[in-house]
Structure 1
Amino acid sequence: MMPRNKHADDNRPPLLAVAEAKQRILDGLGRTATEKVSYGSALGRTLAAPVYAKASVPAFDLSAMDGYAVRGEDVKTLPARLTRCGESAAGHPFTGKVARGEAVRIFTGAKVPDDADVIILQEDVDAMSEENGITITIKSGNPAGKHIRRKGLDMEKDTPVLDAGQHLSARAISLCLSAGHIELEVYKQPRIGILSTGDELVPPGTTPAKGQIVSSNAQYLADFVEMNGGIPINLGIARDAAGALAEALEAHAELDLIVTSGGASVGVHDHIAGDLDGANQKVDTVNQTQIDFWKIAMRPGKPVIFGKIRNIPLLGLPGNPVSSAICAMIFLAPAMAHMQGRHHQDMTFHAMLASDLRDNDKRQEYLRATLAYDAAGRAIVTPASLQDSSMLSVLANADVLIMRPPFDPARHAGDQVTVLPIPRLF
């Protein structure tokens, strides 16, 4: 009898382009629900609704420099001798009136008196002391309005300051607080189930027996999910047996996405594709299980699967650690961004090759490389001499991925190539 997985192998589905595979994953995922959270819990979350300023910022005209606030008409002729009538400091505004021939000592961030329209820098003033009633001499003037931050300069009341879909960085949260918001409406963090597959795997901390290895993919993916704003759910290790995927989900129905590593290839011990594809024979509109695509024109990472099991979207990644990690960067990161209402954009740049590269075949390639800069400040990338997809040591020491399109011709040292930075904590 032919192994069940052989059915999928015989069909030999065409290799899917990376861009098309990414889009089909996004098309197969929905948004999470929304919730309101305190600003203290908002870091890394995504806004589900725009933020409007509750008040103008600044709420009043304020001084951008230390000096004296005066009436412009009093400093038309210089030098001018004025009487200090008060002081305005941040949090302690001057509340009186500035009469003709008077000046108010003012400090950076302080409210500009209503009757004043010129700020004179303190280095342009001769003053004998910091007491009210003294006579000061203004040696040099400024145009009206200079060194004054006008009311609403940063934001005006009721105007939008952040759009929905904004990733809430520390800067963005600070802006929300300034706009008067202590609660923000955000997308809920997607719950991502992480399942490793393979009879050879043992949990970290377990001494492997002959033929076994320590499972590292699950922890990498859990960290990856958390850094991308999700909640990782450890589903454990599934053995190499038909139906093991469904069994691992028995107690985990409330998931937004399942990410597996391993079991996605065509061997007789690989069952992820078979479990999804075989279930197509059963008509169940409530708990749909199906395969959308399988196999990507990509190196490393060819055996990537996308489908659903019991109506839960499933992204199946390769078992090789490097393949799994790179596929997470290429597919899982934009998927999680999409689920949280934001657009993911790979920030690539160009760099100069330090060594030659052979011509590429039909698959899009991601080469691990280190980044340096020469004396002229030019970016130089050196591809690792060994690119085996099992070598975590190479990936861990890489700074960037050199991205090569299908059928890219041979490249030589000094040529420009496109590189994708590997985020520092990935």
Structure 2
Amino acid sequence: MLLGAIADDFTGASDLANTLAKGGMATTQFVGVPTGSERYDCEAGVVSLKTRSIAPDEAVRQSLAAVDWLEAQGCEQFLFKYCSTFDSTPQGNIGPVAEALLERTGAGMAAVCPAFPATGRRLFMGHLFVGDRLLSESGMENHPLTPMTDPDIRRWLRRQTKGEVGSVALDVVRAGPQALAEAFEARRKEGCRLVVADAVDDEDLKILGKALAGLRLITGGSGIALGLPANFRDAGLLSGARSSGAVAAGPVVALCGSCSAASQRQVAAHLSSHPGLALDPEAVMSGTMTADKAASWVMEQHTDFIPIVYSTVNPAAVARAQRELGREKLAAGIEALFADLACRLADAGFRRIVVGGGETSGAVVEALGLSSMVVGDEIDPGVPALVAERDGALGLALKSGNFGADDFFAKAAGLIGRP
């Protein structure tokens, strides 16, 4: 294993695995930190954690366990992957995890770049944009768990960390890999532990990747990985072989727990042609709506359709339900229902499961008891088709809430397997 990555949620892990696989690295996505001493035959290993919204201390503990395992697998370069909208709070978790990884790996400094131009996330003068809007005006300021109210990534990191935060502007990036590497070294000598680098297109990220060839720790969105496979290829370390897995065949279901603007559009588009079951928060919390009832509804639908079970509503409705029912209790209750539902449907013969939302994806994958997943073709930017083993081939798509075209659910169903 050459490159070891730690992702703070499951959709982010598959997003990164997709980027590395497209770049020519034989990539395996692991569900949590594997146990035992088995050595895995892959070039990039991505450990999927569910640490984005948990207590910072616990996020640090799990991330350190992951980097220890990856180092034992032979990795010499590490990547901490978080969302391209830098989902966190003023208390963490991105800053505390990054600082802990710096200490554990012995890295003197780490790069920071959440940019992912293919999905409209661009970083300029340290400020993160989503499309033509600053992050704080993009809808992310209303996120129920990690509201992003400040687009200045340098300032946001300073609230979360103890060390100095530096930056490298776009004109330095475009001066080329050598100039950029020298700028990183200058920031390190100035005492900066984390250095935010601008990037507004894929070429910027490729320059950044080349400049980071010798850096032990890198942090960012999946876009930061665009230029990394070439470093290993230039060193003659890549086999040129991509992993391949069995094809999943069987009934399909879509599950969506995300309330992002993109997910709202996707659910609305899907409902125009397919049946849907909306999960009412009060019904879930009171036990009126259960996984058993939802599974029965799904199995009653005609196989020509792709039924969707969703808790996707607008931010105002989410805030109201959180106030009335309790934010953490509500989130846990809905995730538990989706997890139980996925298991019931998989046991009943559903071989293709499309999931929207990072927290929902994590809950589903953990409940299914999967250990690793093979990365397949890209469905939409940042979202690959995945195949796991669970009583035969199980096709999955794990979508971050903000990712995907409006027709994502139907498109994904076709690419993760066949009827």
TM-score range, shorter chain: under 0.3
Q: TM-score, normalised by structure 1?
A: 0.25
Q: TM-score, normalised by structure 2?
A: 0.26
Which structure shows the bigger proportion of residues in strand conformation?
1
Relative contact order (alpha carbons < 8 A, sep ≥ 6): 1 or 2 greater? 2
Which structure shows the bigger proportion of residues in helix conformation?
2
